[in-house]
Structure formats: C-alpha cells, structure tokens
A = this chain, B = another copy of it.
Amino acid sequence: MTQFNRRDFLRAVGATGGAGAMLATMGALGLTPTAQAATRGAPYRAPRPGDFTLTGRAAAKVVVLGGGIAGLTTAYELGKAGYDCTVLEARDRAGGRNFTVRGGDTTTDLYGNRQTARFSDGQYMNAGPARIAQWMVTLDYCRELGVPIEVFTNVNADAYLYNESAGMTAPVRYRAAKADVFGYVTELLAKAGDQGALDAALTADDRERLMEFLKDYGDLGDSFDYTGSTRRGYSVWPAAAGVPGVVDTAVPTASEVFASGVGRYFAFEFEFDQAMLMFQPVGGMDRIPHALSQAIGSRRIRTGCAVTEVTDRADGVTVTYTQGGRTRTVDADYCVAAMPPNILAKVPHNLGSGVQSALEAITPSSAGKIGLEYRSRWWETDHRIYGGITETDLDVTHIWHPSYGFHGPRGVLIGYYNTGSKADSYAALSPQAREARAVAAGVKIYGEKYRSELVSSFSHHWRQFPYQEASWHSTPGGPDAPRYKPLTQPTGRVYFAGDWLSYMDAWQHGAFTSARTAVTALHQRVLA
C-alpha cells in the first residue's frame, strides 16, 4: 500500500546524530491546522439555482440509473440547482447496498431462498455498509441531512480473538493478547539493544529514548523482562478493600504467543479506513438513503423499475425500463448511470464497445452477513463485551457485537461477516443451514448461550442478490487506468458514477465522491 520513495532509514538516522536540530520539522509528523482543509480533497461546490441566473441557460432533465448512494446523491445534488431528475431503481426500495434489515423485511436471493426478517422492534442489522471513518464525506452528508450519528465500535479490548487452527481451545481477549505480544516483542528489542545490536543504527540519545518507550509500551520490568501485566486483565477485578484483584499468573510463553497468531489482527485498527473512532447513523445506515430520498422527493424516485436499454442520441438520452411487467421509457437531456457495473454490462446500449469492455473488466466480489437476534444481551452480562468485533480464523471470520441498544432486552449480533469463497459457501446453504453453521462456530468461542438464547436470524449475500450480484468490485489497475476512460469521462450524454469508479470501492465515501464528480462535470457542461 505504501506509495513513497524508499528511504534508507539507517542512513537517515546516522546522518542526523542528535535530535534537537530536527525538531523544527516536527510539523511534518502530522497535519498542521492550516492544512486541514486540504485533507478533505478538492473543495466540492454544489450546484445552485443562482448558477443559471446570468447564463441564459436552464437546468436540464436528467435520468439517473440506480437508486443506490451514488444515484441518490446525483439526484440530490443536481436537485439543488433545479435539475429535473428521475431515478430508476430496480428494487422496491432505494439505497442499493445500503440496506438495513428490520423485522418484516423480505428478500429472495438468486437461489430462490426467501427470507422474512423477524427482528424485534428497534433491532436491525446493516447488511451493507455499517461504519464511517471521521474523514469520510459520508459524515458531511449525515450533518447536512440531519442524520444523527453515534460511535461504531470497530475495536474493543474486551472482544475476543480465536484462532482454532493454531490450537486455541478458548478465546483470548484483545487486551490480554496485546499485552503479551507487545510485552515479548518489546523485551526482544530491548535485549537486542542491550547487547549492542542497535548501536550501528541508533545514536546514544535515540537508543535511550527507544528503551524508555519499549519499557512503557511493553510494561517491562526494570531488567526489561516481560512477566505479565495488569493490562492483560484480571480473573478477579480490583474492587473494595479486601479485593485487590487477581491477575492471571498463567502468562503464556513468547513461543506460545507467537504461535497463536493473535498478533495478525492488531494492525487492522491502524488502517486509514478502519482506525477508531468510527461512526454509524443512529437507527440504521439506511437513515442516509432515507434522508436523501426525502430531500429528492419520492415522486422523483421510481422503484421496481429495471433498466432494459440505454440509447444515447445527439440531443438526449432514452432509457427503457420495465415496471410491473410493462415497458416504459424516459427521455432526458442527460443520463447518469449509477448502477453496479456488472448489472449495467447486461443492459443493451449504444454506448460503444469501449464502455462495454470497461464495464466487463470490473469484476464482482462476494460478502455475506448473518444477523442473529438474541433474547438477552448475554455478551454484555456474561462476557462483559459491549460492542466491538471478535476476530476468528473460522469461516465466520468476523463476529460483530452491536454498537447500539446497550443494556437493552435484546440484541442482534453479526454472526458472520465473511468474504470470497467463505461467503459463497454460506450463500450456497439454505438460510437455516447458514444459521446452524454460524451458531456452531460461535458456540466454540462464546459457549452454549450462543445457541440457546437465539431467537431468529437473517442472512444476506450480495453476490447472490438480484440487481446487485456483487458486494463490491475489483477494478484492475484502478479507476484511472486508460481502459476505464469511457466511464470516468462522459460517453455522449451519459455519465457514470459509483463507488466502483472511485479509490474507495465498497465505501459510501466512494459513491458520494464519484457522484459529486459526475454532477460537477454535468453541471459545468450545462452551464458552458
């Protein structure tokens, strides 16, 4: 992922010697306040009614294909300047992969599995996007649209790690795993330093600072040994006089810790898109498309309308679609195609082979989730886990504890969030068999309540879902590769938008910013 020129760190350190003179450049460590604006990308300027005042031009008629985040955003943004937008959405609801499942929601997958969610009032699962990083434009839309947000619990020291293939017979908490891994790793480095192994790489000052950091970071003793730590947690937590707390003294050896592979999960929380704090809309991610739809106006969004043909002409675009078994058409000045590329590729059009081969080059991926509703929040009362993600090497991969409804009577765990062949293998099962398999995995980690407290489940697999057939997409070479130019530039009067045309595929941020790009280009053309 790193995109930098390689620098020789050892040489750099050797060249600097003491540290004092270099400190004037410490601003480079991060982003200065004055540079903040730049971190949000080029400023976006939404179309406004006043844009047309002096031009003699008027807002155009635009047909938007697909009512997912990119399509809705296109209609919303163009609507700000008075464009006459029509959104055609194949499914019975807008939002696309932004899909919050609540009691009563019904789906039928491509295998014919029909499910109706039986979640209690107030309980839901976000089957699609579920988390938002602080820097993402998604939060700007939440603010602008008045969608309240709350913390999404992406990382939790008290959640579990469980690597069955490494021989673990019980889960370990993140806090214990981190204490042990960092304890032993810092001990190793401190001892290497003690033996002079770092003398060539570090000045005496740097070495002293490093040793101080290692001791603190690893909770090492005076002789730089790791012998356990209160950071691991307690078997009896400290309380009143008489209860000083009991720390587990059965600290595993370094070899055991390394062999367990628990350290592989730690870098996740450093990733630029996953680092806490993260956020979610209060009440479900679909509060975003719901608010967008309200702002656009429901009369402009036609659901149950599957696009069957797109014809670009010199003076406009004609889109044919079916609704309730009848074929209809929309004529517009422009079209923004915000459908999944793999679906759009199946639609007859006259946009040329460049468009078609670009659409076909973008390949669909698989992901699945199951929501497990429980009659009690036993993970809070019995395990003292309030939110967060348990990581496993089982085929369920990730187990999510809910980030809402703490201390409530019920709760919905995400029993699996898996991708690729693991997701496909679950998708191939009946919903009942998916539940049984997910629960069997969870029981290994959490015990029998994972089965006995279960009320109902609902599973969703985007690859096997009509009008999506992908959880997200792979765009070989990146969206700015030459082969995708017929998509990143307008083809005739047709523009394209979607997270799949961004560098943040699978994130709403990609859909929002891609829509903004299409809107900006279209609006400039209309104004020109």
Contact indicator A502/B240 (Cβ below 8 Å) = yes
CB atoms of B172 and A29 under 8 A apart: yes
* Cβ contact within 8 Å between A260 and B177: no
- Across-interface contacts of A156 in B (CB, < 8 A): 134, 276-277
Classify chain A: how many residues form its interface, as a range: 35 or more
With beta carbons under 8 angstroms apart, the residue of B158, B187, B387 that contacts A151 is B387
Q: A157-B270, A216-B264 are in contact. List 16 more A-B contacts (CB 8 A).
A: A2-B221, A6-B221, A22-B253, A29-B252, A40-B384, A151-B403, A157-B269, A189-B192, A205-B258, A219-B267, A231-B275, A239-B517, A240-B514, A241-B484, A241-B517, A243-B513
**A239-B134 in contact (CB<8A):** no
- A255 sits at the interface (CB 8 A): yes
Contact sample, A vs B, 18 pairs, CB 8 Å cutoff? A4-B228, A6-B221, A19-B255, A22-B253, A23-B256, A26-B169, A39-B234, A136-B237, A153-B277, A192-B193, A195-B197, A197-B197, A202-B254, A210-B258, A232-B272, A240-B514, A240-B516, A241-B480
What is the bound-complex CA distance between A484 and B241, given in angstroms? 10
A315 lies within 8 A of chain B by Cβ: no
Q: A168-B27, A503-B243 are in contact. Are A236 and B9 (CB under 8 A)?
A: no
Interface residues in A1-55 by Cβ distance below 8 A to B read 1-10, 12-13, 16-20, 22-42
- In the complex the two chains form, is B227's CB within 8 Å of A7's CB? yes
Contact of A256 (CB < 8 Å), options: B26, B260, B516: B26
Query: B157 touching A277 by the CB < 8 A rule?
Result: yes
A264 touches B213 (CB 8 A): yes
Q: Which residues of chain A in 201-215 are interfacial with respect to chain B, using CB atoms and an 8 Å cutoff?
A: 201-203, 205-206, 209-210, 212-214
B406 to A28, Cβ gap below 8 A?
Answer: no
Docked CA distance A514–B241 (Å):
7
Chain B residues with Cβ below 8 Å from A182 are 270
Q: Looking at the complex, which one of B137, B175, B244 makes contact with A275 (CB distance below 8 Å)? A: B175
Cβ contact within 8 Å between A206 and B258: yes
Q: How far is the CA of A498 from the CA of B172 in the complex (A)?
A: 33
Say yes or no: A178 contacts B270, CB within 8 Å.
Answer: yes
Q: Is A382's CB under 8 angstroms from B36's CB?
A: yes
Q: Is A139 an interface residue (CB 8 A)?
A: yes
Give A4 to B501 CA distance when docked, in angstroms. 55
Judge whether B206 and A255 touch: CB under 8 Å.
Answer: yes
B2 engages A230 (CB within 8 Å): yes
Among B198, B245, B501, contact of A188 (Cβ-Cβ < 8 Å): B198
Q: What chain B residues lie within 8 Å of A386 (beta carbons)?
A: 134, 139, 149, 277, 279
Contact call B189/A40, Cβ cutoff below 8 A: no
- Inter-chain CA distance A384–B185, complex, in Å, is 33
Which of B36, B197, B514 makes the CB contact (< 8 A) with A384? B36
- The reply on A135 being an interface residue by CB < 8 A is yes
A398 and B383 alpha carbons, distance in the complex (Å): 31
The yes or no answer to A226 lying at the interface (CB within 8 A) is yes
Measured between beta carbons, the chain B residues less than 8 angstroms from A267 are 216-217, 219
Would you call A266 an interface residue if the criterion is a C-beta within 8 Å of the partner chain's C-beta atoms? yes
Q: Does A470 contact B (CB under 8 A)?
A: no
Q: Which residues of B contact A188 (CB under 8 A)?
A: 189, 198, 201-202, 210
In the complex, whether A361 has a CB less than 8 A from a CB of chain B is no
Contacts of A270 in B (CB 8 A): 157, 175, 178-179, 182, 219, 231
**4 shortest interchain CB distances as A-B pairs:** A23-B167, A19-B259, A30-B172, A197-B197
User: Which chain B residues lie closer than 8 Å to A216 at the CB level?
Assistant: 263-264, 266-267
A27 with B244: CB separation less than 8 A: no
Are A271 and B16 in contact, CB atoms less than 8 angstroms apart? no
| A446 contact set on B, CB distance < 8 A | 33
Which of B39, B235, B239 is close to A502, meaning CB atoms less than 8 Å apart? B239
A240 touches B406 (CB 8 A): no
Please indicate which of the listed interface residues A30, A203, A221, A253 has the most CB atoms of chain B within 10 Å of its own CB: A30
Which residues of chain B are within 8 angstroms of A173 by Cβ–Cβ distance? Answer: 30-31
**Cα of A157 to Cα of B30 in the assembled complex, Å:** 12
Judged by a CB distance under 8 angstroms, whether A229 is at the interface is: yes
Q: Is A150 part of the binding interface, using a Cβ–Cβ cutoff of 8 Å?
A: yes
Contact A503 B20 (CB under 8 A): no
